[in-house]
């Protein structure tokens, strides 16, 4: 004689049935969500104050992306903790493709080491979409420093360990850590002089108070063009079209040297891949616009389209690259 089913077994079966029905109902809902995307304005969280370099680049590119998507882009500036405040907020937003994060090598890579608790992991809490631009840096020296090439600078620093100085926009900034990466790559010694911003550092470089600086092109190139500082090299693998006579650091004896500032778009982890792909397509289409490219190049930036997978690998490699520089420098933020 068969035993009647136990009550707890029946309850479990009922729960499984209910869960299955919910899952089946969710499939058409997700399909509808993806098929209709986007059907309302998108928000881009910029984790910096309005009017700064990053904010300007974000608005330039993403406004054009909005036209490709057929929806307006709303920008929300959430500054604080070196970009961590806005990044954490974006990582906790609904994963529906309507909240995007503008990230940089600072927020997505440097902060992962320089802050003890940044509050988010870019490769776990966020999904990479595409890189937007790449900003080369330029090695510039004070006008009367007796060097005319990158090789000369390396030779001078090797012969005089600890005698010469390099300026930066502050501890843990791109200009600081680029200098640390150069020192490690070339096996040279130089004293770091941090400033409260790149403009102050550049002013003292022009005045001869510091000897050299590795600064992003938008800040360094105008001073080099005006003859106030001497340009020696650019830090990316290829020469910058606007400066064809300035070699790369790699060409100048440090093979494989590749340091740049960059930015990218991320979305909360769990965002459906078809939505990510729609964003990738819109970003890449916007990046082909000649007017946008010209506006970016005027600011020393160039478009840098990537797949989500390429961006993920790039972020991981940059966390290591910049993280090692942070550790060598001893810089830290609580």
* Other Cβ atoms closer than 10 A to 256: 8
Percent of the chain with pLDDT over 90: 80
pLDDT of residue 333: 81
Q: Which CATH class is domain 136-234?
A: alpha beta
pLDDT of residue 334: 65
For the record, the structure tokens of 111 come out as 């902060």
- Could you tell me the pTM of the whole model? 0.81
169-223 pLDDT, tens per residue?
888 899 999 999 999 999 999 999 999 888 899 999 999 999 999 999 988 999 9
**18 Cβ neighbours under 8 A, 6+ residues apart:** none
For the record, the structure tokens of 9 come out as 């077994």
Domain boundaries for CATH 3.40.190.10 within the chain: 136-234
Ranges of residues in the chain with a pLDDT under 50 are none
pLDDT of residue 298: 80
Domain spanning 42-135+260-329: CATH superfamily: Bordetella uptake gene, domain 1 (3.40.190.150)
* Cα–Cα distance measured from residue 95 to residue 114, given in angstroms and rounded to the nearest whole number: 28
| Residue 197: its H or E element | none
pLDDT of residue 36: 86
Residue 130 half-sphere exposure toward CB, CA atoms < 13 A = 25
Domain boundaries for CATH 3.40.190.150 within the chain: 42-135+260-329
81-92 pLDDT, tens per residue?
989 999 999 999
CA-nearest of 174, 179, 104, 195 to 139 is: 179
CB contact at 8 A, 252 and 233: yes
pLDDT of residue 4: 55
pLDDT of residue 332: 84
pLDDT of residue 6: 54
């Amino acid at each position: 004689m068969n035993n009647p089913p136990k009550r707890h077994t029946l309850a479990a079966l009922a729960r499984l049935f209910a869960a299955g029905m919910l899952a089946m109902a969710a499939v058409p809902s997700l399909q509808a969500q993806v098929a209709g995307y986007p059907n309302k304005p998108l928000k881009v969280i910029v984790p910096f104050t309005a009017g700064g370099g990053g904010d300007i680049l974000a608005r330039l590119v993403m406004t054009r992306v909005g036209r490709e998507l057929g929806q307006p882009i709303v920008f929300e500036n959430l500054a604080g903790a070196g970009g961590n405040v806005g990044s954490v907020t974006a990582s906790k937003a609904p994963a529906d493709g309507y909240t995007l994060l503008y990230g940089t090598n600072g927020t997505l890579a440097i902060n992962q080491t320089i802050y003890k608790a940044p509050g988010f992991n870019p490769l776990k809490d966020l999904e990479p979409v595409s890189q937007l631009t790449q900003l080369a840096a330029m090695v510039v020296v004070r006008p009367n420093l007796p060097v005319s090439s990158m090789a000369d600078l390396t030779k001078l620093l090797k012969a005089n360990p600890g005698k010469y100085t390099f300026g930066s926009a502050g501890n843990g900034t791109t200009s600081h850590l680029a200098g640390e990466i150069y020192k490690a790559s070339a096996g040279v010694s130089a004293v770091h002089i941090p400033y409260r911003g790149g403009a102050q550092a550049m002013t003292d470089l022009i005045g001869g108070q510091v000897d050299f600086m590795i600064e992003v092109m938008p800040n360094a190139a105008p001073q080099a063009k005006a003859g106030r500082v001497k340009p020696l090299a650019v830090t990316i693998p290829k020469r910058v079209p606007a400066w064809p006579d300035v070699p790369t650091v790699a060409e100048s004896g440090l093979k494989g040297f590749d340091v740049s500032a960059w930015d990218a778009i991320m979305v909360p982890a769990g965002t459906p891949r078809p939505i990510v792909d729609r964003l990738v397509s819109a970003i890449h289409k916007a990046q082909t616009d000649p007017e946008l490219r010209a506006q970016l190049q005027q600011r020393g930036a160039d478009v840098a389209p990537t797949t989500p997978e390429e961006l993920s690998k790039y972020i991981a490699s940059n966390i290591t690259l910049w993280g090692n520089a942070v550790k060598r420098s001893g810089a830290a933020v609580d």
